[in-house]
Amino acid sequence: MTIFPLAHHLAEFTKNKVSSRFSTEIPATDGGEVHPNPIYLNYGCPNDGFFPIEKITVHTLDKPFQTKKLSKAEIDNLDLKTIEIVKKELNEDLIYISDGFQYMAPSGHDNLYKFNKSLVTLLNKPNYDDWDLVITLGAADGLNKIFKALINPGDTVLVEEFTFTPSTFNLSQFGGIAVPVPVDFNEKSEGINVSKLENLLDNWSAIHPDLRKPKALYTIPTGQNPIGTTSSLETRKKIYKILEKHDVLIIEDDPYGYIVLNDDFINRNVTRDEYINKYLSKSYLTIDTSGRVLRAETYSKTFAPGSRLGFVVGHKGFIDTITTISSLSTRSPSGISQTILYNVIKQRGGLDSWLDWKIEISKAYSIRKKIFYDYLKASKINEKHFIEVIEPKNGMFLSVKINFELNEKLRKNDIFRNLALLNNKCLKHGVIVILGRVLAVGEEAIRKSNFVRLTLTMADDEDELLEGIKRFASSIEDLFEYGN
């Protein structure tokens, strides 16, 4: 394995890991002659004639919910862009059934790999040359392999005190220890409290004398789950500088960054250049000069969760290790998913068309966020200061803090009791929410978890979304009126 400057961060077991030694082709020795047109009797790959599918036809949409309320006859009359995927042709720009449904390299199909590389180069090119990526089975798989590549039992990883806790469970299976970092939880918040992060690392041995110095920071800096905050580039630069000083890696989880929540997407036509240069938040990759950032991306939020496709970007030394882990575990991601995803993107117009789709998604989510946010800000529960609404700039979630202390009965309860009472009221009024304590890391964070996470994404339409918000507001009113 190639030694690179940050190789000391790799987990011990990976340092002696090698890809499978099994080889289906052994080259000729001693200058032996090789036939120009050999017949392959070596591979265990079924001939594509055994595949029971000859052609796939996909009718694609120009914008979300385009056909949601239309009848079948109305849909049939729409001029939808049709994608056809055939078994075999001689156009190397596409992925055909004969190729895409076959076994392939652990890094994924070369065409999708190249597309992902062009996407990263355009939007978030690392600030050094020796970078690479590997296609994964979604962001969760990417994070799992990052943790596997890095974590020895007893290693510590910093995480935002409120975060997507399944990732911390993922970390723990390798013996990693999640240590919470305080975040600012208010309408002006950018997430991690930079000064507290710096103090934590500068005084680590005094604050956590029994724990190893952190190996990495796991962070969701854009559309943070659950809070919804987005860190500015200046804040990211400050955090990067602190982490570089302490030789801490950055594991950047960014499933929500392409979903921009801004009224401009509602009021006018945002151009691709504006989307890229004005509205998209820049990844930590763009300020990374030492190769310490590993970024996990996914197609789940912009294409479909069931595709189970994503990729990890980072220094080639790390990516080679993650690719080796893939070759010894999951092998390649689903060829069927790669075939459909890539052909939809390519036949609809490639990278430009894919950016247009992301703009349309941002518009649809921005409409939902506006309905949600505006209703809550104008509500009685906000006027009475029962709640504090955190306006998100990216993503799928909106968090609402509940000021339990304003009610005489509620202020006597602990956080578990109050959240349980709130949950009961929500169920009574017919709305299901995520309680803050479920997304808190550590006892101190749980004590401060007086909030709920609400999603913009599941409702069938704006009417259903608005009804859900009204039911949530009624739940809060009911709770504060009776206190139980």
359-482 folds as: Aspartate Aminotransferase, domain 1 (3.90.1150)
> Per-residue pLDDT tens for 67-96?
888 888 888 888 889 999 999 887 788 999
Nearest to 161 by CA among 197, 187, 188: 197
> Mean per-residue pLDDT for 337-355?
94
3-state SS class at 214: coil
> Per-residue pLDDT tens for 209-240?
999 999 999 999 999 999 999 999 999 999 99
* Interatomic CA distance for residues 484 and 480, integer angstroms: 8
pLDDT of residue 172 exceeding 90, the answer is yes
- In this prediction, residue 23 carries a pLDDT of 57
- In this prediction, residue 32 carries a pLDDT of 77
Interhelix angle 316-327/139-150, nearest 10 degrees = 110
* Interatomic CA distance for residues 185 and 438, integer angstroms: 16
> Mean per-residue pLDDT for 250-269?
96
More confident residue, 293 or 49: 293
pLDDT interval class at 331 (50, 70, 90): confident
* Interatomic CA distance for residues 85 and 100, integer angstroms: 10
- In this prediction, residue 1 carries a pLDDT of 44
pLDDT of residue 204 exceeding 50, the answer is yes
Query: Which class in CATH covers the domain with range 107-332?
Result: alpha beta
CB-CB contact of 75 with 61 (8 Å): no
> Mean per-residue pLDDT for 51-72?
90
pLDDT of residue 347 exceeding 50, the answer is yes
> Per-residue pLDDT tens for 122-159?
999 999 999 999 999 999 999 999 999 999 999 999 99
Q: What is the mean pLDDT of the chain?
A: 92
Contacts of 435 (CB under 8 A, 6+ apart): 419, 422, 423, 449, 452
pLDDT interval class at 24 (50, 70, 90): low
* Interatomic CA distance for residues 330 and 354, integer angstroms: 27
Tokens 């990844």, residue located = 283
Choose the weakest-confidence range: 36-40, 114-118, 358-362, 408-412: 36-40
CB-CB contact of 14 with 321 (8 Å): yes
pLDDT of residue 292 exceeding 90, the answer is yes
CATH 3.90.1150.10 spans which residues of the chain? 359-482
pLDDT interval class at 374 (50, 70, 90): very high
